[in-house]
Amino acid sequence: MISLKSGKARNAESADSGRRSFFWKLGAGASAALASTVGLARAESGDMDNLSLRVALLEEEKALRKLHQAYESALDKGFYDEVIGMFADDAEVLFNGEVFSRRSEGVTRLYRERFREGKIGKRMESAPGFEVDAALQQEKVEVSPDRLSAKGVFPYSIQVGTPIASETSLASMARLHGEGVQTWWEGGVYAVSYVKDAADGHWRIARLEHRTLSRADYRAGRSYARPILT
């Protein structure tokens, strides 16, 4: 038997189907809009996190440059105990081919004895004709994403010296007057590694290497310089 639906029934069925289609499309559109909003929110959140990290890294870089300026200033003034206080407990310094380990031992001995006696570290203008290449004069600081370690490269131009070993009366008299030190000019770069102290959150020098690029027999006020061969 074939059942024939009335026009009203067919119209009602068509209307119902249309309503279902409309609500399905509305729901699908709302879901897509919601997904798009969530994705945008996540992207914005990620952008904010990246921005916050960049700002934090820049602040750390600023603190490290300030620490190095303090190091150079203390070295220039001969405040060697202040210099020692900027190092980590297990730090090491590479100077003139030797390694000085641990702040309370080798590092302290280097600055309190060799640097003090040799009047080492005072800023000097570059010896004429021995200037360090401009490309190597650029300071660089790179902080790790976790902000617990960092590396830096800084140029230096300093006085280096060693006490005169001679026992002549002239040398003895010079030592009595605070002299008796043979000095020269040295230029190069500091290659520095830093660590953040877990106790106080301050940066400390973990490793400092003097990468000497040039030496010359030169003292401030001279108009000439002679090379020192190594």
| Distance (Å, whole) CA 223 – CA 108 | 36
Region 38-47: what's the mean pLDDT? 56
Q: Where are the domains of the chain?
A: 40-227
Element (H, E) at 228: none
CATH 3.10.450.50 describes domain 40-227: yes
Checking if the pLDDT of 40 tops 80, the result is no
Whole-model pTM: value is 0.74
192: β partners: 152, 208
The predicted structure's pLDDT at residue 181:
86
Q: Quick: pLDDT tens for 141-185.
A: 999 999 999 999 999 999 999 987 655 554 445 444 445 788 999
Share of the chain above pLDDT 70, in %: 72
| Distance (Å, whole) CA 78 – CA 81 | 9
Element (H, E) at 213: strand 203-217
Q: How many CB atoms lie within 10 A of CB 212?
A: 16
Radius of gyration of the chain (CA): 35
Enter the tokens of residue 2: 């074939």
Question: 7-11, 68-72, 113-117, 159-163: which range is least confident on average?
Answer: 7-11
The predicted structure's pLDDT at residue 145:
95
Average pLDDT taken over every residue of the chain: 82
The predicted structure's pLDDT at residue 24:
46
- What is the per-residue burial (b if ≥16 Cβ within 10 Å, else e) of 22-45? eeeeeeeeeeeeeeeeeeeeeeee
Q: How confident is the model at residue 107 (pLDDT cuts 50, 70, 90)?
A: very high
| Distance (Å, whole) CA 44 – CA 65 | 32
Question: 26-35, 61-70, 132-141, 219-228: which range is least confident on average?
Answer: 26-35
Region 90-105: what's the mean pLDDT? 97
**126 dihedral zone (left: phi>0; alpha: psi -120 to 50; beta):** beta
Q: How many CA atoms lie within 13 A of 25 on its CB side?
A: 6
CB 20 within 8 A of CB 27: no
The predicted structure's pLDDT at residue 174:
45
Share of the chain above pLDDT 90, in %: 57
Checking if the pLDDT of 210 tops 90, the result is yes
| Distance (Å, whole) CA 176 – CA 164 | 12
